[in-house]
């Protein structure tokens, strides 16, 4: 089956490639976060593929971040140390389009949270959303918020 663009895809594409060093696609399981992220990713790692991958990510998070960008890190919340590793890489590299994090959780708002991180409500979707795209969400609900990590 061919991939159908989602309402949030264009928002994520523009935010990632033009402005932000990383984006987080969050939401309930099985809504298409990974599938959407893979459309933009040049490389990926799926932390839920093996317990060894999670252990590796916790011990050597920098190694998990290596690879062509944008790099998708699926189910990143399984290795919470990745959050700081990603934000430091975004700061060090200083360019947009580095990471796409997908998962069902985001870090709590505390002192370790990046100061240039914000959530864009899904209702900020482009005004040219077609009726077909609206039908993708039968209850009129747009996708979960997309969290963005700003580059310098």
pLDDT-above-90 percentage for the chain: 42
Backbone angles phi, psi at 127, to 5 degrees: -70, -15
pLDDT beyond 50 at 120? no
Query: Which of 84, 40, 41 has the alpha carbon at shortest distance from 62?
Result: 84
Q: How far is CA 39 from the centre of its chain?
A: 12
| Confidence (pTM) | 0.71
Is the omega angle on the peptide bond into residue 108 within 30 degrees of 0, that is, cis?
no
In terms of phi and psi (left: phi > 0; alpha: psi -120 to 50; beta: otherwise), the region of 99 is beta
Contact 61, 25 (CB under 8 A): no
Q: How big is the chain, counted in residues?
A: 152
- Where do the domains of the chain lie? 7-150
- What is the enclosing helix (H) or strand (E) of 39? helix 33-40
Read off the tokens for 9: 């895809």
User: What is the average per-residue pLDDT within 26-45?
Assistant: 88
CATH of domain 7-150: 3.40.50
Q: Name the residue with higher pLDDT: 134 or 64.
A: 64
> Which pLDDT value is given to residue 43?
97
Q: How far is CA 135 from the centre of its chain?
A: 24
pLDDT, tens digit, 9 for 90 and up, residues 47-102: 999 999 999 999 999 999 999 999 999 999 999 999 999 999 999 999 999 999 99
DSSP state of 4: -
């Amino acid at each position: 089956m061919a991939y159908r663009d989602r309402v949030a895809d264009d928002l994520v594409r523009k935010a990632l490639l033009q402005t932000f060093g990383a984006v987080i696609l969050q939401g309930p399981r099985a809504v298409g976060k990974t599938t959407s992220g893979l459309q933009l990713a040049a490389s990926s790692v799926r932390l839920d593929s093996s317990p060894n991958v999670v252990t590796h990510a916790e011990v050597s998070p920098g190694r998990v971040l290596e690879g062509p960008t944008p790099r998708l890190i699926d189910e990143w919340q399984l290795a919470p140390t990745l959050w700081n590793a990603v934000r430091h890489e975004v700061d060090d590299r200083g360019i947009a389009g580095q990471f796409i994090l997908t998962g069902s959780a985001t870090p709590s708002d505390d002192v370790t949270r990046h100061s240039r991180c914000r959530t864009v409500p899904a209702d900020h979707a482009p005004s040219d959303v077609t009726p077909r795209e609206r039908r993708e969400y039968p209850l009129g609900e747009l996708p979960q918020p997309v969290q963005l990590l700003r580059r310098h």
